[in-house]
Amino acid sequence: MSTHAKHLRGLTIATLVTLTAGLALTFFYAPIELNEGFVQKIFYVHVPLAIISLMGYVAGGVFGLMYLRTGKKVWDLRSYCAIHMSLIFSIGGLISGAIWAKAAWGHWWVWSEPTLVSYLIVVLLFCTYQPLRFSIEDPERQSTYAAVFAVVGGAFVPLNFIVVRLSVQYLHPRVLNLEGGQLPASMATAFYVMVAAIALLFVTLMKYEMLAKSTRMETRRLRRRVLGDDAVAPVSRSAAPV
């Protein structure tokens, strides 16, 4: 069994269980917030999505670094999938963030919340990852350049966060603490379970994607072995590791 398929069944089950538990806690256990009402519950989805996707980007950077150091294609695959998955989660994070902003402050977007703002910048940067990969045809070069990008991007995430936070403090005094450092116990439980659930969801989906891609790579390699090089048409330009 491929290394990517190991633990996959266990992970999937764990994800479904935690996600169900988290959502149940969110809707039935956590109290309704005084000021914002029911819509505030989107906080339990938005913040975990944001946190996990940011960690995903940093992980993508670490995997990219490993690729640069070892040259083993599997790290490139991991880097690609991590960033790809983070991007998808980020879109979810931005949309849920916008919904929450509308519910909490009446606007679809607020510049006074540094986490949202620096998050937007990070997403803008990583949106360019796939176009970058797609525009390099030499597969080796594509993997190397993507890895360099991932490392630079991953390092950029914390840096950007700090600078934006400083700037927002200068321009708008903080109105609401997004991280919820002083959450009451019932909210905290729901929150942490959701964080765990989204983390598991991320890892599981990433493993699925890696499994799908590596299986495809392996199949092509075997076909080429059996049928000869020319029988298998080369993959036309692709952004993903082939």
Partner 1 sequence: MAWAILRKDLTVELRTLETVPAMAIFTVATFVVFHFGLQRDQLQGQLAAGVLAVSLLFAAILGTNRLFVAEREQGGFDGFLLAPVDRSAMLLAKATALFLYMVVLEIVAVPAFAIFAAPPGLGGALGGIVLFLLLVDLAFALVGTLVSAIAVNTRARDLIGPIIGLPLQIPALIAFAIGIGKELAVFPHRGPGGVIRAFTYHHSPSGEWLLVLALYDVFNALLAYAVFDFLLEE
Partner 2 sequence: MDDVISIRELVRNFGERAVLRGVSVSVPAGASLAVLGRNGAGKSTLLRILATLLRPHGGEVRLFDRTLPRDSWAVRGQIGLLSHEPLLYRELSGRENLIYHARLHGIDRARVEEVLAAVGMARRGDDPVRACSRGMVQRLAVARAVLHRPRLLLLDEPRSNLDPAAADLIEPLIGRGAGITRVLTSHDPEAALAEADLVLALQGGRAAYLGPPEGIDSATIRELYR
Select the residue interacting with partner 2 from 8, 14, 189, 224 (CB under 8 A): 224
Q: Does the footprint of partner 2 cover residue 92 (CB under 8 A)?
A: no
Q: What is the CA radius of gyration of the chain?
A: 20
Select the residue interacting with partner 1 from 2, 70, 128, 215 (CB under 8 A): 128
Cβ-based nearer residue to partner 1, 28 or 170: 170
**Cβ-proximal residues to 94 (8 Å cutoff; 6+ apart), any chain:** 119, 120, 123
Cβ-based nearer residue to partner 2, 170 or 229: 229
Q: Rounded to the nearest whole angstrom, what is the least distance from the CB of residue 145 to partner 1 in the complex?
A: 6
CA atoms of 94 and 115, how far apart (whole Å): 11
Q: Does the footprint of partner 2 cover residue 231 (CB under 8 A)?
A: no
**Cβ-proximal residues to 201 (8 Å cutoff; 6+ apart), any chain:** 15, 19
Q: Does the footprint of partner 1 cover residue 239 (CB under 8 A)?
A: no
CA atoms of 117 and 128, how far apart (whole Å): 18
Whether 201 contacts 16, CB under 8 Å? no
**Cβ-proximal residues to 190 (8 Å cutoff; 6+ apart), any chain:** 22, 25, 26, 29, 30, 44
CA atoms of 98 and 106, how far apart (whole Å): 10
Binds 155, which of partner 2, partner 1, none (CB < 5 to 8 A, cut-off by type)? partner 1
Select the residue interacting with partner 1 from 9, 28, 106, 170 (CB under 8 A): 170
Q: Rounded to the nearest whole angstrom, what is the least distance from the CB of residue 118 to partner 1 in the complex?
A: 9
Near partner 2 by CB under 8 A, which window of 53-61, 127-135, 137-145, 172-180?
137-145
Identity at 215, one-letter amino acid code: T
Binds 211, which of partner 2, partner 1, none (CB < 5 to 8 A, cut-off by type)? none
CA 73 to chain centroid:
21
CA atoms of 177 and 101, how far apart (whole Å): 13
CA atoms of 9 and 83, how far apart (whole Å): 23
Identity at 164, one-letter amino acid code: V
Q: Does the footprint of partner 1 cover residue 147 (CB under 8 A)?
A: yes
Q: Does the footprint of partner 2 cover residue 176 (CB under 8 A)?
A: no
Q: Does the footprint of partner 2 cover residue 140 (CB under 8 A)?
A: yes
Q: Does the footprint of partner 2 cover residue 233 (CB under 8 A)?
A: no
Cβ-based nearer residue to partner 2, 21 or 217: 217
Q: Does the footprint of partner 1 cover residue 152 (CB under 8 A)?
A: yes
Residues 25-44 that bind partner 2 (CB under 8 A): none
Whether 14 contacts 200, CB under 8 Å? yes
Contacts with partner 2, residue ranges (CB under 8 A): 138-140, 217, 220-221, 224, 229, 234-235, 242
